[in-house]
Amino acid sequence: MGHMDHFSAGWVTPVLSYVMACVGSALGLRCTVRALQAEGSAKRNWLLLASLAIGSGIWTMHFVAMLGFSVDGSPIRYDVPLTALSLLIAVAVVAAGVFTAGYGRSRVTSVLLGGLGTGLGVAAMHYTGMAALNLHGEVDYDPMLVIASVLIAVAAATAALTLTLVVRGPLLATVAALVMGLAVSSMHYTAMYAVSISLAPSSAALPGATATEFIFPLAVVLGSFLFLASAYVALSPTGKRHESAAELLREVELSTAA
């Protein structure tokens, strides 16, 4: 059995990962609310931005938390294509949930299907991200804890959407983001608790990139995107129907190109 340490970098990784999850959730939920006030392409763009925000928030949370994950007796490498795929899966599955919520005829089905989609997005991302883990040994999961982690993700995403779409208000918006952030984090650590590793010590080189080579730069880029987009959304006027999220996407493209 390999001893695992989830906090090898101290309190920094859980706290920072929780903050990232909250920022992504806050931005995503805010955009979902904006989408409900908009029509046509503006609506689609807001929902797209919401999916990107929540997807990258979840992804950043997971891999920032993983920066604190170490196993005695084996180095850890990340499979680059699978890691990238986990980000795409997060955004795609969350998009399915968010678009359902945004275009839903009734608030109840919107929230339930949206929460289901978003929660499954969190879980799909997590387990794809875990599949990207290369180490000397086998990774096994406790099936009950895996199921629990998926239920936590779905329940919390549903709660966050309920707070956002059904009851409104700035205080509740903050609470919703904290709930969603907590959900993503607790889902992560529940899922990590389900992991057991049986080591097969070896001196062979592991394929993939180290966390610092690949995970860290990508997390910084996504983190910057989230903060820039949050600032823009916070400063942009609300309630104007013609306001377009396309300008925001253009600005983000310009700032990332710069």
Orientation angle between helical segments 216-235 and 12-37, nearest 10 degrees? 40
Q: What is the pLDDT of residue 69?
A: 79
| Closest by Cα among 19, 9, 21 to 67 | 9
SS (H, E, C) 171-194: HHHHHHHHHHHHHHHHHHHHHHHC
Question: Helix and strand tally (H, E) in the chain?
Answer: 8, 6
What's the pLDDT score for residue 243? 46
Task: Please give the pLDDT value at position 37.
Answer: 81
Nearest partner of 243 among 43, 26, 101, judged by Cα: 43
Helix (H) / strand (E) containing 133: strand 133-134
Ranges under pLDDT 70 in the chain: 1-10, 167-169, 211, 236-258
Domain extents in the chain: 4-257
Q: What is the pTM of this model?
A: 0.76
The pLDDT score that the predictor gives to residue 241 is 41
Convert 78-93 into a string of H (helix), E (strand) and C (coil): ECHHHHHHHHHHHHHH
Q: How far apart are CA 251 and CA 258, in angstroms?
A: 10
Burial of 44 from C-beta contacts in 10 A (0-12 / 13-18 / 19+): middle
